[in-house]
Amino acid sequence: MICFLAMLPAMAPAAAQSDGAGLKSRGDEFLAARQWAKAVEAYDASIAAGLQHAMLYKNRGAALVMLGETDKALGSYSMAIKMRLDDPNLWLERAKLYTALGRYRDTLDDLDQAIRLKPDLPAAWVERGYAYGQMGDFKEAVHSFDTAIKWGDPSGRAYALRGAAWARLGEHEKAIADFSRVLEANPDDTKALMARSMSYTALGDHTRALNDRDRLVKIHPEMPEAWVARGGSFHQLGNHEQGLADRSEAIRRNPRFAEAWLARGSAYFLLGRYKEAIPDLEEAQRLNTNDEEATRILATARTRLAEQERAEAPAPNVLRPSLPQPPKRAGDFDRPAERPLETPQPAKPQAPPQPIPPAKPMQPAPKPVVAEQQAAPSRSGEDHHKRGRALIAEKNYPAAIAELNEALRLNPNMALAYNARGYAYLLQRDYNRALADFESALKIKPDYENAAQNRDRVKQLLSGRRTRQ
């Protein structure tokens, strides 16, 4: 290639143009074969040969995106647009890159141009709805998805994304209807099954949620997330033995899946079985040192175990009668079988015995396991989250991160805040922190499609960086 380029100055312009077209075709072949670096080399050689073509720059931009060279990709897309201002698809391609970078205002500006040129372009309306959803404007997102469906969205994404928007608006019946449409077309759609099950759970219809999650387990038995989710439904229905068994199966399938350890540990915790909860939560924390939820529950479990042990310990200077143990009471299902229930009966002493510290209730009513709980609302946390998002839009990323840190301090279960902070890190090119935040958002909300796409995007960027190194 280098020797060939050295010959270019001596070639006639027509010959150079012809060779540039051939190099572009070669680049297109590399692009189709997913050989991104070779595609860029061929496109660059084509440009050096004098070829100037909008599709050349568009395809070059697509290859650069896959290599993580986002600044160069934006420049390539901009060159393509400059050559073909009237092509709505070029505006759409650059808008998608802005979306991947979290620059949603720029996304919407480009989409406005695409829609002005072609109002019946469903892909532009889908992307517009996605951008508004990422900005938290779910009503406008629904409007965009409605329009995409009106124009016959061929990708099928509009129903799935509209369902997610309805769920965020609390309209779970409408969300279920959209997810059901997706499943009619593709009964094995994993994301739609998981999302619909979450909406069923939000409505308290745990039986239907269990049906969807049972299908997930049958379709993808290798998927630990499916076992964790199905275990949550069993817990909600009061079948704690099967719920724990499903979480154990998730761990067996993937011992390095921190969420499974957290889910089983959280279930033990909510059942009052702190001795069993602590090792699981410690393992979850070891596998994911950034998991604040595991850290919080682990600290509480240790405190409650100590209180439990103090409550069970005999009081000082109190004689133990040699009486048989009382029968185990109904409702004590969550006591470990190996720990006998001791009820000291003090003899009548000469002096008043030292009072026994009051024990905390040993049998909390079964609660929904953590994997099924919605994040507790926190008004001040939401305020910090909104300010953080506004600062991201203003490109003041350090201040945005500070606001989102405070939001997460006040509400560690706020998946939206993790996702937003991940964007701020992404835009500062701190990809490792961005990845950790997107994964934290998915631990709290496994069906969070936006966070999943962002996580995958950052992994691509990190992969491209390692390839170049």
pLDDT in tens, 395-440: 888 888 888 888 888 888 888 999 999 888 888 888 888 898 988 8
Q: Mention every residue, 6+ apart, whose C-beta is less than 8 A from residue 395.
A: 427
Percentage of residues of the chain with pLDDT beyond 70:
81
Asked if the model's pLDDT at residue 376 lies above 70, the reply is: no
Q: Answer whether residue 198 is part of any domain.
A: no
Specify the DSSP element, H or E, that contains 23: helix 13-32
Q: Answer whether residue 140 is part of any domain.
A: no
Q: Average pLDDT of the chain?
A: 83
Q: Answer whether residue 441 is part of any domain.
A: yes
pLDDT in tens, 39-87: 999 999 999 999 999 999 999 999 999 999 999 999 999 999 999 999 9
- What is the number of domains present in the chain? 1
Q: What is the pLDDT of residue 387?
A: 86
pLDDT in tens, 109-168: 999 999 999 999 999 999 999 999 999 999 999 999 999 999 999 888 999 999 999 999
Asked if the model's pLDDT at residue 368 lies above 80, the reply is: no
Quote the pTM value: 0.62
Asked if the model's pLDDT at residue 373 lies above 60, the reply is: no
Specify the DSSP element, H or E, that contains 335: none
Q: Answer whether residue 247 is part of any domain.
A: no
Q: Residue 396 is part of a domain; what is its CATH number?
A: 1.25.40.10
Instruction: Reduce the DSSP state of residue 112 to 3 states and report it.
Output: helix
Q: Positive or negative, the Cα torsion across 130, 132, 136, 139?
A: negative
Q: Mention every residue, 6+ apart, whose C-beta is less than 8 A from residue 307.
A: 360
| Cβ contact 224:253 at 8 Å | yes
How many Cα atoms are found within 13 Å in the side-chain-facing hemisphere of 103? 17
Q: Answer whether residue 435 is part of any domain.
A: yes
How many Cα atoms are found within 13 Å in the side-chain-facing hemisphere of 241? 3
Q: Answer whether residue 387 is part of any domain.
A: yes
When mean pLDDT is compared across 1-15, 101-115, 450-464, the lowest value belongs to 1-15
Instruction: Reduce the DSSP state of residue 293 to 3 states and report it.
Output: helix
Q: Answer whether residue 392 is part of any domain.
A: yes
399 φ, ψ (degrees, to nearest 5): -65, -35
Q: Positive or negative, the Cα torsion across 422, 426, 429, 435?
A: positive
Give the residue numbers spanning the domain of 401: 383-468
Instruction: Reduce the DSSP state of residue 237 to 3 states and report it.
Output: coil
Report the pLDDT averaged over residues 184-191. 94
Q: Answer whether residue 419 is part of any domain.
A: yes
Where are the alpha helices (H) located in 151-270, listed in sequence order?
157-168, 172-185, 190-202, 206-219, 224-236, 240-253, 258-270
| Cβ contact 98:107 at 8 Å | yes
Residues 149, 158: Cα–Cα separation, whole Å: 6
